[in-house]
Chain A
Amino acid sequence: MSQAQDTDKATGETGRKEATKLDPAKIILEHVGDGHEFHFFTFHQRPVSIPLPVILYSPAKGWSVFMSSRFEHGHQTYDGYRLLNEEYIGENNLDEKIFKPGRIWAVNEAGQPDPSIKLYDLSLTRNAVQMLISVLLLIWLMTGVAGKYEKGQGVTTAPSGFQNVIEPVVVFIRDEVGKANLGDRYEKYMPYLLTVFFFILINNLIGLVPGTANVTGNIAFTAMLGILAFIAIMFSTGKHYWLHIVNPPVPWGVKVIMWPVEVMGIFTKPFALIIRLFANMISGHIIILSFIILIFVFGAMNTALGWGTSPFFVLLSIFIYLIEILVAFIQAYIFANLTAVFIGQAFEGGHEEGHGGEHHQEAVVV
């Protein structure tokens, strides 16, 4: 069912491509990128999509709020703004380096997009809307479970319903990620680690559904998560940590080499977190989309070849989908775990090596 929708999505794209050549890179980047609408498919030259609010601020004109349907997929100028697509850029021979498709530009009196008019695009794009939906979903699920625990269900009696799903996971994060890396001070960090884990997990999983936006594969989203992890790490540092960076107990020859490496290390650790999550999620999406588009690449060469290879590619896509579900869980766990490791490294007295996790109970026996 999801695969049919996926092929419908790609069929729609190829329906338009009868006139133009198939451009896989552009289609893939369109699907994994951000946009001002939820585009599902194109039915007989008619795009089927959900438009989203466009919120623009220009120092010259003030605020403008309207639905992106007013742009009619890039064919209409509205309120002095225009959404550029490739046809418009091609027709008017605009400089492709400046005018990239998918962005909104202010048009001057002549009707041409004018880069000199300053414009701040604060729209609710599909990444933003989907992130808000997943935030609300997460809050609803978690407060539901927490409410049950407050009433005593699962404390004095056996856990019931969704508690059975959440409790092993929370205990796992508390023991394997919190206590193992943070020792005695794990309780202060549990809200943050649990939020990071569940937020990344829910965004990963929702992003796998065909038709949804690719939130965790967006570098801005993961960059904010990385910055928050960096802030959490910096807030946990003690004198001992900085002393070790500036004056490690090594011979002076090594010390000179350690200085730039350690200073860079402060920044490369969150940077690696950012890139790891971003690259894993976006590569998963690109692989699935590539396999589906390969069907159409083969179909463009020879229709029979396209039909013949399609079962094989669809099965391959399903296989990759299952791997991507596993990767969704793993990447959420890795982000939370590495953040806990880095926070643990930032604590004072790193030589004590607080191994709080050695005698814990096995929370999840796999």
Chain B
Amino acid sequence: MTTLLDVMQPGYGAIGAGLAAIGAGIGIGQVGKGAVEGIARQPEASNDIRANMILAAALVEGVALLAAVAGLLVAVK
């Protein structure tokens, strides 16, 4: 039982990285949804929308990868 409570187990790192993937999926999915709906409403703005979508997706992914790196550090330590 004490090994379960010891937070530096490699397994927890993998769980953390997996949760980060869920977060990234939900976040970037929302960005994509908003972008596609915007393009559907106004196809002429598709270039501007695409640029902003990529920017927002990269920001969300940056945070998610921060958590993934933390998980990786625990998993291979």
With both beta carbons as reference points, the residue of chain B lying nearest to A337 in the complex is identified as B55
Q: Given A29-B76, A280-B65, A283-B68, A366 and B47 touching (CB < 8 A)?
A: yes
| Chain B residue total in the interface (Cβ 8 A) | 15
**Residues of chain B contacted by A365 (CB below 8 angstroms):** 47
Of the candidates A278, A279, A280, A337, the one having the most CB atoms from chain B within 10 angstroms of its own CB is: A279
Whether B47 pairs with A25 at a CB distance below 8 angstroms is no
Name the B residues within 8 Å of A282 (CB-CB).
69
Chain B residues within an 8 Å CB radius of A276: 58, 61-62, 65-66
> How far is A278 from B66 in the complex, measured between Cα atoms in Å?
9
- A25 CA to B72 CA, complexed, in Å: 11
Question: Is A348 in contact with chain B by the CB < 8 A criterion?
Answer: no
Dominant secondary structure of chain B at its interface with chain A: helix
Which of A29, A275, A331, A366 interacts with B58 by CB under 8 Å?
Answer: A331
Contact with B along A306-333 (1 / 0, CB 8 A): 0000000000000000000000001101
B47 touching A283 by the CB < 8 A rule? no
Q: Which residues of the partner chain A approach B66 to less than 8 Å between Cβ atoms?
A: 272, 275-276, 279
- Cβ of A34 < 8 Å from any Cβ of B? no
A-side interface size class: 20 to 34
The answer to whether A366 and B50 touch (CB under 8 A), given A330-B58, A334-B55, is yes
A176 within 8 A of partner (CB): yes
Say how far A129's CB is from chain B's closest CB, in angstroms. Answer: 26
Partner of A334 from B47, B50, B58, B63 at Cβ < 8 Å: B58
Scan residues 22-77 of chain B and give those whose CB is less than 8 A from a CB of chain A.
47, 50-51, 54-55, 58-59, 61-63, 65-66, 68-69, 76
Q: Indicate whether A362 reaches chain B with its CB closer than 8 angstroms.
A: yes
Residues of A participating in the B interface, judged by any CB pair closer than 8 Å? 25, 29, 176, 272, 275-276, 278-280, 282-283, 330-331, 333-334, 337-338, 362, 365-366
Binding site for A on B (CB under 8 A): 47, 50-51, 54-55, 58-59, 61-63, 65-66, 68-69, 76
Closest 4 CB pairs of A and B: A276-B62, A279-B65, A334-B58, A279-B69
